[in-house]
Amino acid sequence: MISKGIKKDLLGRVFAVIVFALLTLFGFVFSIYLIYNANNAYTYFLAFSYLILSIVAGLFNTFTAYSYYRSYLYDEYLDKIKDSLSPMNTFPSVAVAIATFNEDPKIVIKNMKQLRKLDYPKDKIVFYMLDDSNDKTKINQIKKASKIYNYIYINREDRRGYKAGALNNLMNITKEEFIAVFDYDEYLTNTKFLKDLLPYFQDKKLAYIQTEKRYRKYSFFSDTIDLFDAFFFKFIQPSRALNNTAIFAGSCGIIKTSCLKEIGGFPEYVIEDTFFSFESDVHGFKSLYVPKVYAYGKPIKTFTELVKQQWRYNYGDTQFLGYFIEKLRRKNTKKVLSPLSNVDYMTHGFGLNYISVMLVLFTLISIFIVFSQLPIAKINLSNVLSAQYLSFDLELLGIGALFVSIIAPIIITKVYFNSVRKGIMIFLLNFALAFIRAKAAFAAIFRKKYRVVWERKNKNNYKYGRILYAAKNSIMEVSFAIFLFILGVIAVIINNVFGGMWLFWYGILYASTIFMFYKYR
């Protein structure tokens, strides 16, 4: 008998596949419609540009649908691995490490204390505090706490390689067989972390295990961001793990020290964890993902914090894409990686770039279509109300594609996380972050020094008030939204009602950035 929960899960995944299939189909058919009605070089250029964007979107939609459905098979795959494991009779030595840089000592110390509760033989576990802080007050507090809770305190004067450098420094120091990594803000909730995960390393080729990462509950906004990331850990990670491409997410995971040394340590990039995961695969090691939460991170409470995170992710993913392509040219890399592995790494590198850059490109091409000589530019109010016109014209499929793109995250969020509001928020966030992610990608492409553009300010110390703070940090998005509104008005004036509505809608979506900075500063 299949339980109701399993049936609901399977039906939810099937529904997700159908939604993404419809989105892909509608985009293709609307592209064909544009090509069919093109009548000069300019309109053919627009039509084929839209087709290219639809093909790229279709490939990503297909991959996403594939991941949603395939992840359903992961529990059975993991159960088979569990059944093959022998009882753990001996306990290997483990280094438990926290990496930090000028973070709030109260949070760091609280989590240091909690990690000491790990259920594991005390003579087989050594705790390390990797403190790269340069704030003397914070250094003194954390150093003092390290003595109290019996942590080996390590402070590097040269913060080369950031977190990757700190972990590589530990790799060269530690004699423990495994390294368990936690972020400074992750509060342990399951003390069985080591005893649950270490048995999997009976597979000698297993280099690392990653567990599910989640944030503590705090507010509607922070809980939405938690779901924002949960999509990756609930659906993408299990699917990738079936291909041996599970991403080591930087913390809440365990690494085999000997494998890390053979790989050469963590590549010292902004997102060192993704580069390490790829290098592990290239070196012929295995990886594993365990979809279970053992610790909860500090919630992302503000849009400004989210912007910082997304800037870092997209900058790093763009770096990784170039790294991956360069590595792929080498014959030894091609021999090790499977075709599915290549697809996984390629889509990971393109992921946030696709979501951001593609949204902007679809918007720009939509502007040109609205003001072209294609039939869509001739729709007036009487056309819209004409049942005959609506029943035969393939332009409806363009509207259908837009509609499905809106409801997809909303309904999927409702099915899996029982929240329509959070689905709407996730949809808006992709537009609110579009230019921010795109700028991070271009900064990486042109090898600009990695930096965070938006500095966190005390919310009670806005020099010119909240609205000006929000406007200052969203100048590009607001300017683009105003431009779209103006074009929308022009479209309506020239009797192109649908075109005007199309541009107004895009304008509202991009203007959501200023709302996010204002509401969730």
Question: Quick one: what percent of the chain has pLDDT higher than 90?
Answer: 42
pLDDT at 455: 43
- Rounded CA gap, 177 and 137, in Å? 34
Q: How many CB atoms lie within 10 A of CB 150?
A: 11
**Tell me, what's the pLDDT at 330?**
74
Find the length of the chain.
Answer: 521
260 to each of 179, 206, 266, 477, how far by Cα in Å?
9, 11, 7, 43
Q: What is residue 513's predicted lDDT score, i.e. its pLDDT?
A: 94
Per-residue pLDDT at 458: 44
Q: So what's the pLDDT on residue 12?
A: 64
Tokens of 292: 């279970």
Phi, psi torsion values for 448, nearest 5 degrees: -70, 145
Q: What per-residue confidence (pLDDT) applies to 412?
A: 67
**Sign of torsion, CA 175 181 185 187?**
negative
User: Among all chains, which residue has been given the structure tokens 């070196």?
Assistant: 283
**Predicted pLDDT at 196:** 96
Which positions ≥6 away from 293 have C-beta within 8 Å? 189, 190, 211, 212, 213, 214
> Which mean pLDDT values do the consecutive 10-residue runs of the chain (521 residues) have?
52 71 77 80 86 82 78 89 90 96 94 97 96 92 96 89 91 96 96 97 96 94 89 88 91 96 91 90 94 95 90 88 84 70 82 72 83 58 45 48 63 68 85 89 78 46 70 90 94 81 88 92 78
Cβ-based neighbours of 429, under 8 Å, separated by 6 or more: 224, 228, 306, 516
Can you give the pLDDT at residue 381?
A: 44
**DSSP E strand stretches across 306-385:** none
Distance between CA atoms of residues 352 and 320, nearest Å:
12
CA distance 142 to 154: 11
Q: Can you give the pLDDT at residue 408?
A: 65
Q: How far is CA 344 from CA 1, 245, 260, 354, 362, in A?
A: 34, 7, 22, 14, 24
pLDDT of residue 50: 84
Where b means 16+ CB within 10 Å and e means fewer, 248-279 reads bbbbbbbbbbebbeebebbbebbbbbbbbbbb
Domains observed in the chain: 4-41+352-519 (no CATH), 85-301 (3.90.550.10)
